[in-house]
Amino acid sequence: MNEKEKLLGDDRRQLILETLQTSDKPISGRTFGEMTNVSRQVIVGDITLLKAKNEPIIATSQGYIYMHAQTEPGRIEKTIVCRHTPEQTLDELNMLVDNGVTVKDVKIEHPVYGDLSASIMVSNRNEVKEFIKRIRESDAVYLSKLTEDGIHLHTILAENEEQIKNAEEALKKADILVE
């Protein structure tokens, strides 16, 4: 593609969709912008249009991912309840990923808006570090801070029950897991 040539509307969205469906890792809006010679903001609009067509695309701290209908075969999914200060978020996430667990999301019950959730999708310390860095650089507020007591839920994925059990034990010892 010519450096000055932009990939237009439907063709651009089709490329985004096909790329996300075949990728095993998140892809940033900036990367899509570079691929199609448009701004990141145009990509944000494209993603919104694709979501409006019920494409299961979510934004994570690492970029966009396509959520395929099924959990990976052999993976176990569980929801856990946690409570801690914002300063303990790094420790909480590291405890989970250090035990082989992927943290898919965080959910809270907001007193006005009801249930709120956000994708996290971290599975190793580097991804946790990047997630925390983005929170700090953007001055974003952790969802748990929007609750009266800091209680929040995480959907976690693991290859086996032992990983989940070990992660829960680590959170219990740190007085983070709510039972």
Domain count, the chain: 2
The C-alpha angle with vertex 49 and arms to 135 and 55, in degrees rounded to 5, equals 85
Q: What does the pLDDT read at residue 102? A: 95
Residues 56 and 105 in one domain: no
Q: What does the pLDDT read at residue 114? A: 75
CATH number at residue 31: 1.10.10.10
Segments of the chain with pLDDT less than 50: 1-2
Contacts of 9 (CB under 8 A, 6+ apart): none
Count of all residues that appear for the chain in the document: 179
Q: What does the pLDDT read at residue 2? A: 44
Q: What's the domain range around 136? A: 76-173
Separation of alpha carbons 79 and 167, rounded Å: 12
pTM: 0.69
Q: What does the pLDDT read at residue 4? A: 62
The upper half-sphere exposure of residue 143, i.e. CA atoms within 13 Å in the direction of its Cβ, equals: 20
Q: What does the pLDDT read at residue 98? A: 98
Q: What does the pLDDT read at residue 128? A: 96
108 found inside a domain = yes
